[in-house]
Each structure stands twice: as structure tokens, then as C-alpha cells.
Amino acid sequence: MPSRAAFANLFAVIVAAVAWPALMLQYWLMLWSGPPGHETIRFLSFFTILSNLLVALVAGSAATGGNWAFLRVWRGPRVRGLAALSITVTCLVYATVLQGHWHPQGPQLLADRSLHYAVPVLYVFWWVALLPHGALQWADALRWLAFPGLFAAWTFARGAVVHEYPYPFMDVTTLGYGQVLLNTGIVGAVFLVIGLIYVALDKKQGFR
């Protein structure tokens, strides 16, 4: 019977096998919209893409089994926890706030459902049920806020130049900075609360 570690590595292959093709499909679809350089920057300006890319790197590093320094970085417990937090918030915000704003069809629907639902469910299951726990600290919930914080800073800086925002609740042109900062603060609070829940879960799992 395979060990838990072996099953975890096998499941990492499944996560990576869903995440990477979904990212490539979404990128290919966006390349049809404009010049490659512009669309590449736009592609990387969505938190959905960044969180899925983080998941793909974490799962891919586990799936390879290699011992290169680059791969070991993505296997650290804090990076894995950050990926779990980020992809969870991606799923929750999309399901509760964003899904009703558009109705994708065909290949776009496949990419959409994979990035917002399939990858989050697979990764969070892998992280909770199959990976070792007990290394996280309460301060990690605060450290993890740097990732969405940098994303917000990039979004506002880029938006001030190109007047384009990845999500309606961050659209300064339509809502103004006051409302957008409030919306961003609410999402930040969601990050913090779920981050604390995940740290608590990691601590509980670590005692088993």
C-alpha cells in the first residue's frame, strides 16, 4: 500500500495537470484580444492568474520530485499555506461577487471553471488532507497579506496609467478611490480571517 507521502506526490501531479493547462488555455484565449506584450501584462494582472500560478508552481514542484533549490522554495510550508489561502479567496470572491458579471462560453467556460473552482478544490484538499502540518505560526497570517497587498498596489498603479482594472470592485474610474479602498479593505479582512483559520487548522493537524 503506498505511503501517505507517495499519495500526496501523486495527487500533486493531478493538481498540476489541471492548473497548468487551465492557465495556458486562458493565456491563449487572451492572446486573441491584442498584442502579445500587452495581453501578457494584462494576463498577469489578474489575481486569479497569480493565485493559480502559485498553485501550479507549488504542486508542480512536488510532482517533479527534484531537489533543485528553485523547487525547494515552492515546497516550504509557508508558501504552500499562502497558495491555499490565495486560491481559496480567489474561489470565494469569484463565486460571491464576480461570477454574475459575465457568462463565458466554450473554451473560456472551461478555463473559467477550472481556474475558479476545480483548481481551488483540488489544491485545498491536497493541502489539508495530504501534506504535513504543524510548521505555521500565527504571524504567517499577517505575512501572507503582503501578496494581495502588492497585487492591490500594482492594480492601482497600472490602472492610473492605462485606466483598466481587473475586477469591478477595484475599478477606481467607476467607483472612486474611497469605495475601492473600502472594497479592498474588506477583501483584505477576508484574507486575514481565512489565513488565521488555516494557521489554526495547520496547528491542529500538526498535533495528529
Overall pTM > 0.75: yes
Encode pLDDT of 107-120 as tens digits. 999 999 999 999 99
What's the average model confidence in pLDDT over 79-88? Answer: 98
Instruction: Look at residue 65 and tell me whether its pLDDT is greater than 80.
Output: no
Q: Give the integer Cα–Cα distance in Å for 32 and 22.
A: 16
pLDDT digits (tens, 9 = 90+) for 152-196: 999 999 999 999 999 999 999 999 999 999 999 999 999 999 999
For residue 161, which of 38, 72, 11 has the smallest C-alpha distance? 38
> At 67, is the pLDDT very low, low, confident or very high (cuts 50, 70, 90)?
confident
Rg (Cα) of the chain, in Å, rounded?
17
The mean predicted confidence, pLDDT, of the chain is 94
Please give the pLDDT value at position 197: 98
Per-residue pLDDT, 207:
57
Q: H helices of 32-118, where?
A: 36-43, 47-64, 69-73, 77-93, 106-113
Note the pLDDT of residue 2: 59
Angle between helices 77-93 and 47-64 (to 10 degrees): 140
Question: φ and ψ at 24, to 5 degrees?
Answer: -65, -40
Q: Write down the residue that cell numbers 528553485 correspond to.
A: 70
Q: For residue 125, is pLDDT > 90?
A: yes
Q: Residue 176: its pLDDT value, please?
A: 97
Averaged pLDDT, 91-118: 94
Give the residue, 9 or 145, on which the prediction is more confident: 145
Average pLDDT over residues 148-152: 98
Q: Where are the domains of the chain?
A: 4-206
- pLDDT at 1 > cutoff 70: no
